[in-house]
Copies of this chain bind each other. A is one copy, B any other.
Amino acid sequence: MNISGDSEFLSDYDPTAYDCPSVTVDLVLLGLHRQRLSALLVRRDQPPQAGHWALPGGFVAIDESLDVAAARLLRDKVGFDGAHLEQLYSFGAVDRDPRMRVITIAYLALLREDQMNAAVRAGRVAVAALEGERLAAIGEDQAALPLAFDHQAILALARDRLRGKIDYSDLAFAFLPPRFTLRALQDVHEAVLGTPLNKPAFRRRMLDRGRLVATGMREDEASHRPAELFTLGSAR
């Protein structure tokens, strides 16, 4: 088998003549649930790994791009689109699925809290809080759970990527409604990083970036002084 053929000789290649790996997309659906960074998982009811929790995913069709496949799966799994979606990493260990060779392109999807709740009501997913270093726990105070296949590693990478980008990117706003308070924004950062942040310094830093636009409106439903609502302005 000519596995070292250059791509410039691709015209000599007959795809039906070789084994080719299956290609899937897996989704890491992250959001805040009760102030904690959480993932949406599906429960496997078929072997292998029946009973284990797993990332939702599916095959990439021959006529759809990776991004389109991810968007389609997002719609199928949570019942709507509109969540922030970006490619995370590709996993291709030979034995990552015991049945066959599967290469998966993992996508990171960030949901608002209302979207998290809607997804749980509408779909086949459950909420799992991310605890400590690399474990997820389903439901209230259950013990940490092992995930199917290499999904634990995928989830850990997603969390690390999110932590690394939260401070300089716009990812935090994907967790929030269009109008939000500075306190809510800080809650997002703290949940993602897993550490408390200094409040005046956080406010200053965010406001000095010039991206937050004050609306003049204030939150309601607060049993204390209501905070101002901001929106995210355009870059530059």
A residues in contact (CB < 8 Å) with B: 1-11, 13, 15, 18-24, 26, 42, 44-48, 54, 56-67, 69, 72-73, 76, 87, 89-94, 97, 99-103, 105
Contact = CB atoms under 8 A, between A and B. Distances in A.
Given A4-B72, A42-B8, A45-B8, A62 B20 contact: yes
A61 B97 contact: no
17 contacts: A3-B59, A3-B72, A5-B59, A6-B42, A7-B26, A7-B54, A8-B42, A8-B44, A10-B100, A10-B102, A11-B46, A11-B99, A21-B23, A63-B94, A63-B101, A66-B92, A90-B105
Contacts of A13: 22, 59, 100
Contacts of A87: 89-90
Given A3-B59, A20-B21, A66-B92, 10 more contacts: A3-B61, A3-B72, A7-B54, A8-B45, A20-B22, A21-B23, A21-B60, A66-B103, A87-B89, A92-B105
B19 A60 contact: no
Across chains A and B, which 10 residue pairs bring their CB atoms closest together, nearest first?
A66-B92, A3-B61, A19-B62, A7-B57, A8-B44, A90-B90, A20-B20, A65-B93, A90-B105, A65-B92
A143 to B, nearest CB: 22
A92 B22 CA distance: 14
Residue of A2, A72, A92 ringed by the most chain B CB atoms within 10 A: A92
A66 B90 contact: yes
Contact of A4 (B10, B58, B66, B91): B58
A84 to B, nearest CB: 17
A221 to B, nearest CB: 39
A76 B100 CA distance: 27
A1 B105 contact: no
A235 to B, nearest CB: 15
A23 B100 CA distance: 15
B105 A21 contact: no
A23 B103 contact: yes
A95 to B, nearest CB: 9
Contacts of A100: 10, 13, 15
Nearest to A48: B11
B7 A24 contact: yes
